[in-house]
Every structure is written in structure tokens, then in C-alpha cells.
């Protein structure tokens, strides 16, 4: 199977869906001739023209509002907010319009829009460009939230998101764009709400998503040398969440660690931990451990940034604590 970059997988998904359905179009800042801040839309402007690949004004509220309006009138917009940090400006349109209108109109309208955005740390670009705000969107009824970790998942899930009749927040990690993975050339999609076991193991379940999956897999490789077996589950979609797969794994290993790059307080890791405690408490032989970011604005200093967020070393430390 061929190997392609994460950004290429997303680009292929967009191209294929635009060819499949003339109602699909792209909008956002610098998505046109420039090809997007991370290259995801490169070549699409030349192929599909300015009617279907639209550069917008620098207004996240306008991007989200226009996308919701277009979706309600029969189009399938894939809009981009250049960084999840700027979604703060678009929250009214996303939370009070896109997420609710299908319910407010009694199902007489749908809002089939995808909001692509980028989050996470790793580039030393400080607190306004490094946040992980996925829990905000998970909290909102009516929104789906996707955070793929691999090229294969990114392509399959984006295609599914574009075809869905509900608004989807599709969050890409800025440090994953240049990672490579196996992606088939034939058509495929991945259902929402289905997690994936990235590595089978017996001693400890590690639940992660986005870039943290790669760190968990690296930690698993290191711990294997010491005879410790990790099962790494990539949830892929935070909402809907595949709790069945998580609980099945916890039933087998009896120990669980949840890894999230977001701040620990009020994060998705806490929600997953709560559901495990509610539905699978009897499976546990040790307390649930969360490995998450410190409750601080992300520093610009690379040393301080690394100290603030999860690392392979922190995951290994948590594993050894949970099995001690």
C-alpha cells in the first residue's frame, strides 16, 4: 500500500468529494491560490475554480456563519478556521446556529457543514496558536468532533464528515501534516463513533487521540523492552465516542491511562474517565490516570512548552505508577 503525508490524505479526500458532489465547496482564509496555511487545499483552486474554492475575509465569525447558511440552503461547505484558537470568535455561529438549527426547525433543515481547523503544540508559537479546545465542542449538543491521528484515518473520516448531514468540527494537529501513513488508492470511508485499536496489549489500556496516539505508541515500544504490554486505543471521533471498545479493553487489562494534549481540568480525558468509572468501575484494579497538559497558557519557549504537555516519558511514568 502506498504511503502519503497526512496533508495529502486530506487533500485527496477534498478532491474526491468535490468530484463526487457538486454541492461540496471549500471556503476560508488563504485556501485558494495559496493552497492553505498547511498546504491541505493546494491545487484545488486551479482544478475547481473560485466558485468552489473561495478565499474569505479574515473573519472567523463570517466564515462559520456563511458556512452554516450555505449548508442550510443545500450546499455542503468545508470551511476552514486557520487555528482552533480563533474559533473563539466563531463560537456564536457554531454553537448557537450550526449546532442547533436542525433541532430548532424540527428537522425541516439540516446543516451539513464541516469546519476544519488546526490545534495542538509543537511549533513554539505560544498561547494564541497552540491550544487544544476540543472539549468546548464536545460539550455542545448537535456537533460532531473528529481528531484523526493517521493519514488513513484523516482521509476516511473527512470523507464521512463531508457526507454527513450534521455539523462536524474536524480538528487536525499541526504536527501531523508531515507524518506519513498507508492509504489505499481505492474508495473508502470510516464510520463516525468507531475507535481503533492501534496496538494490542494485555497489561494497561492507553486511550488517546490525535498526536497523542503517536506518543502512546512510542511509549508502548519502549515499555515492551521491559516486558510491559500496552493496548493503545485511538478514539478517532470524540463525539460520538466509542465507549464500547474502550470498556472492552479495560475489561481485559483492568488498568487505564487517558492521554490528552488539552488542559487536564474540564477536558475530554475527564469525560472518558467519568464514563469508565460509571460503566466499568468493577473492571478496574487501579485508579484511572490522566496524562494531560498543565492548566497554563502554552508557553512560547520550546523547553517550557514541552514541560507543559504530555510526553513519552510522562506516559511511561504513568504506566509504571498504575501497575505498581
Say which CATH number the domain at 225 has. 3.40.50.920
> Same domain, yes or no, for 35 and 175?
yes
- Categorize the per-residue pLDDT at 120 as very low, low, confident or very high, splitting at 50, 70 and 90: very high
As to burial, measured by CB atoms within 10 angstroms (0-12 exposed, 13-18 middle, 19+ buried), residue 161 is buried
Residue 129 has pLDDT above 90, yes or no: no
- Answer yes or no: do 169 and 237 share one domain: no
Tell me what pLDDT residue 132 has.
93
Question: Do 204 and 151 lie in a common domain?
Answer: no
Question: Quick check: is 262 in a domain?
Answer: yes
Catalytic residue check, 60: yes
Is 21 within the bounds of a domain? yes
Q: Do 87 and 177 belong to one domain? A: yes
Residue 137's CATH number = 3.40.50.970
Residue 223 lies in a domain: yes
Decide if 151 contacts 181 (C-beta within 8 A).
yes
Q: Which of the four pLDDT bands, split at 50, 70 and 90, describes residue 125?
A: confident
Q: Confirm whether 190 is domain-assigned.
A: no
Domains: count for the chain: 2
**124 contact partners, CB below 8 Å, separation of at least 6:** 300, 301, 302, 305
Same domain (yes/no): 239, 294: yes
Residue 98 lies in a domain: yes
Q: Known catalytic residue: 23?
A: no
Q: Cβ atoms within 10 A of the Cβ of 175, count?
A: 17
Q: Is residue 187 part of a domain?
A: no
How many angstroms separate the CA atoms of 243 and 258, rounded? 13
User: pLDDT, tens digit, for every residue of 222-240?
Assistant: 999 999 999 999 999 999 9
Domain end residue (candidates: 119, 151, 182): 182
> Around Cβ 320, how many Cβ atoms within 10 Å?
13
Among 153, 182, 211, where does a domain finish? 182
The pTM (predicted TM-score) of the whole model is 0.96
Q: What is the percent of the chain with per-residue pLDDT over 70, rounded to a whole number?
A: 100
Taking only the tens place, the pLDDT of each residue in 177-235 is 999 999 999 999 999 999 999 999 999 999 999 999 999 999 999 999 999 999 999 99
pLDDT over 90, % of the chain: 94
Among residues 60, 80, 134, 261, which one is catalytic? Answer: 60
Q: How does the average pLDDT of the chain come out, rounded? A: 96
Structural domain boundaries enclosing 245: 196-323
pLDDT tens profile 38-65: 999 999 999 999 999 999 999 999 999 9
Residue 107 confidence (pLDDT) above 90: no
Q: Are residues 174 and 211 in the same domain?
A: no
Both 127 and 228 in one domain: the answer is: no
Do 204 and 165 fall within a single domain? no
Same domain, 204 and 113: no
Per-residue pLDDT of 241-278, as tens digits, reads 999 999 999 999 999 999 999 999 999 999 999 999 99
- The reply to whether 171 and 293 lie within a common domain is no
- What is the total residue count of the chain? 324
189, part of any domain: no
Mean pLDDT across 16-29:
98
Q: Are residues 138 and 204 in the same domain?
A: no
Catalytic one of 12, 29, 80, 129:
129
| 182, 217, 237 - which closes a domain | 182
pLDDT digits (tens, 9 = 90+) for 310-322: 999 999 999 999 9
Q: Which of 47-61, 116-130, 275-289 has the lowest mean pLDDT?
A: 116-130
Q: Are residues 151 and 221 in the same domain?
A: no
Q: Which of 76, 92, 27, 78 is nearest to 56 (CA)?
A: 27
Has residue 246 been placed in a domain?
yes
Amino acid at each position: 500500500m502506498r504511503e502519503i503525508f497526512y496533508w495529502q490524505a486530506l487533500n485527496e479526500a477534498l478532491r474526491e468529494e468535490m468530484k463526487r458532489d457538486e454541492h461540496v465547496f471549500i471556503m476560508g482564509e488563504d485556501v485558494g491560490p495559496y493552497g492553505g496555511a498547511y498546504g491541505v487545499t493546494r491545487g484545488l483552486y486551479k482544478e475547481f475554480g473560485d466558485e468552489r474554492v473561495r478565499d474569505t475575509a479574515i473573519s472567523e465569525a463570517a466564515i462559520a456563519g456563511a458556512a452554516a447558511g450555505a449548508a442550510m440552503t443545500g450546499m455542503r461547505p468545508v470551511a476552514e478556521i486557520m487555528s482552533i484558537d480563533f474559533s473563539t470568535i466563531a463560537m456564536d455561529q457554531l454553537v448557537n446556529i450550526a449546532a442547533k438549527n436542525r433541532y430548532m426547525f424540527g428537522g425541516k433543515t439540516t446543516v451539513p457543514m464541516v469546519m476544519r481547523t488546526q490545534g495542538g503544540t509543537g511549533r513554539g508559537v505560544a498561547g494564541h496558536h497552540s491550544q487544544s479546545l476540543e472539549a468546548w465542542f464536545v460539550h455542545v449538543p448537535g456537533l460532531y468532533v473528529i481528531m484523526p491521528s493517521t493519514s488513513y484515518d484523516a482521509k476516511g473520516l473527512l470523507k464521512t464528515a463531508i457526507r454527513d448531514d450534521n455539523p462536524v468540527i474536524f480538528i487536525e494537529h499541526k504536527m501531523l501534516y508531515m507524518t506519513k501513513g498507508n492509504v489505499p488508492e481505492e474508495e473508502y470511508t470510516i464510520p463516525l463513533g468507531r475507535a481503533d485499536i492501534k496496538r494490542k496489549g494485555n497489561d494497561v489500556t492507553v486511550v488517546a487521540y490525535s498526536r497523542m496516539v503517536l506518543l502512546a505508541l512510542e511509549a508502548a515500544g519502549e515499555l515492551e523492552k521491559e516486558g510491559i504490554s500496552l493496548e493503545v486505543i485511538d478514539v478517532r471521533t470524540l463525539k460520538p465516542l466509542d465507549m464500547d471498545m474502550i470498556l472492552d479493553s479495560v475489561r481485559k487489562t483492568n488498568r487505564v491511562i487517558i492521554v490528552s494534549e488539552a488542559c487536564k481540568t474540564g477536558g475530554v480525558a475527564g469525560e472518558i474517565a467519568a464514563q469508565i468509572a460509571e460503566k466499568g468501575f468493577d473492571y478496574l484494579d487501579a485508579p484511572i490516570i490522566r496524562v494531560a497538559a498543565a492548566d497554563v497558557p502554552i508557553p512560547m519557549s520550546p523547553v517550557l512548552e514541552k514541560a507543559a504537555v504530555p510526553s513519552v516519558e510522562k506516559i511511561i511514568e504513568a504506566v509504571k505508577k498504575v501497575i505498581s
